[in-house]
């Protein structure tokens, strides 16, 4: 009798589901490597995934991703999951010469690791088809999918990047990296002066693009502050008026998030 009671007690104390069977998704971003040269250079990262989710190809997967792939993932999640906070990405280096410094690369790696793990730990985002594609697709597939989503001037910052790339190419021409000139001719000197002037104009255009991005972000922050203030005002009013203020505040905050994400 006592033996039966012990066995019954032992059985009731066991969890109906062992910890090993609990669904999990763990991701690590490591091993940054510089690839390419000049304006085409970029950093690639090793993304290692461990999971027991049934929709994944296997328990472990390693893929190579670059920063633009992480940007693609965030943009897709932002478009598909309205009302859910999408974690921010680490900022790009504003100064070109620090872009490939060891300190900056490590800070970005840590930021990317935090970004993707915050998504992987979210109960809804972790089930996203886009996240699964990001964590499992080969490089060619990822690049093809990302290219299909690209549009001209999707964000104000894209315009700024175009000016930066154009300036680099102009500098290459001036410095003779594109095609060396063996001797100076009047035509060459004329073209050289023209290119220098063009580079100056491009520099001015880039400054205007920077101001555009900055104003975009400031507008987003202002809308966020306005939304919070209106919500507080609504809390002090009656039911109908308070509800109207609360809805206005919510819409302002949603628009703020969208503007800051597009900047």
Please check the confidence at residue 137 and state whether its pLDDT lies above 80: yes
Q: Please report the pLDDT score of residue 153 as a whole number.
A: 44
* Banded model confidence at residue 190, pLDDT cuts 50, 70, 90: confident
Averaged pLDDT for residues 226-243 = 75
Q: Up-side HSE of residue 262: CA atoms within 13 Å toward CB?
A: 17
Other Cβ atoms closer than 10 A to 110: 12
Averaged pLDDT for residues 18-35 = 83
Cα-based angle 74, 79, 83 (whole degrees, multiple of 5): 95
Q: How many helices (H) and strands (E) does the chain have?
A: 8, 3
Beta bridge partners of 28: 48
> In terms of pLDDT, which residue wins out, 233 or 128?
128
Please check the confidence at residue 3 and state whether its pLDDT lies above 80: no
- Residue 216 near residue 156, CB atoms below 8 Å: yes
Please check the confidence at residue 16 and state whether its pLDDT lies above 50: no
Percent of the chain at pLDDT exceeding 90 = 32
Q: Please report the pLDDT score of residue 119 as a whole number.
A: 94
| SS3 assignment, position 30 | strand
* Banded model confidence at residue 10, pLDDT cuts 50, 70, 90: very low
Averaged pLDDT for residues 161-167 = 60
> In terms of pLDDT, which residue wins out, 233 or 179?
233
**Token pair of 104 as six digits:** 């900056």
Please check the confidence at residue 2 and state whether its pLDDT lies above 50: no
* Banded model confidence at residue 262, pLDDT cuts 50, 70, 90: low
Least confident interval from 74-83, 141-150, 223-232: 223-232
Other Cβ atoms closer than 10 A to 163: 18
Please check the confidence at residue 5 and state whether its pLDDT lies above 70: no
> In terms of pLDDT, which residue wins out, 36 or 118?
118
How far apart are alpha carbons 231 and 226 in whole angstroms? 9
Burial class (CB in 10 A: 0-12, 13-18, 19+), 252: buried
Averaged pLDDT for residues 216-242 = 75
> In terms of pLDDT, which residue wins out, 95 or 238?
238
Least confident interval from 45-59, 137-151, 168-182: 168-182
Best CA proximity match to 45, nearest among 88, 97, 90, 98: 90
Q: Please report the pLDDT score of residue 160 as a whole number.
A: 59
Least confident interval from 15-29, 129-143, 224-238: 15-29
* Banded model confidence at residue 157, pLDDT cuts 50, 70, 90: low
């Amino acid at each position: 009798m006592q033996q039966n009671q012990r066995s019954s007690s032992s059985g009731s104390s066991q969890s109906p589901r062992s910890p090993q069977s609990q669904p999990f998704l763990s991701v690590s971003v490591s091993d940054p490597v510089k690839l390419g040269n000049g304006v085409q250079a970029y950093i690639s990262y090793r993304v290692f995934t461990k999971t027991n989710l049934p929709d994944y190809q296997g328990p472990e997967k390693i893929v190579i991703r670059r920063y633009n792939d992480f940007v693609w993932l965030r943009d897709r999640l932002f478009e598909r999951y309205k009302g859910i906070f999408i974690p921010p990405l680490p900022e790009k280096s504003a100064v070109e010469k620090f872009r490939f410094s060891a300190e900056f690369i490590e800070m970005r790696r840590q930021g990317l690791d935090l970004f993707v793990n915050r998504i992987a730990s979210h109960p809804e985002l972790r089930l996203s088809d886009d996240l699964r594609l990001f964590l499992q697709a080969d490089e060619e597939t990822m690049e093809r999918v990302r290219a299909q989503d690209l549009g001209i001037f999707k964000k104000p910052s894209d315009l700024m990047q175009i000016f930066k790339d154009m300036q680099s190419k102009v500098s290459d021409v001036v410095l003779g990296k594109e095609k060396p000139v063996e001797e100076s001719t009047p035509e060459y000197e004329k073209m050289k002066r023209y290119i220098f002037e063009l580079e100056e104009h491009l520099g001015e255009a880039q400054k205007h693009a920077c101001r555009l991005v900055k104003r975009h972000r400031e507008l987003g922050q202002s809308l966020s502050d306005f939304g919070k203030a209106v919500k507080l005002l609504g809390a002090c009013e009656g039911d109908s008026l308070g509800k109207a203020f609360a809805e206005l505040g919510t819409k302002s905050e949603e628009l703020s998030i969208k503007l800051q994400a597009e900047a």
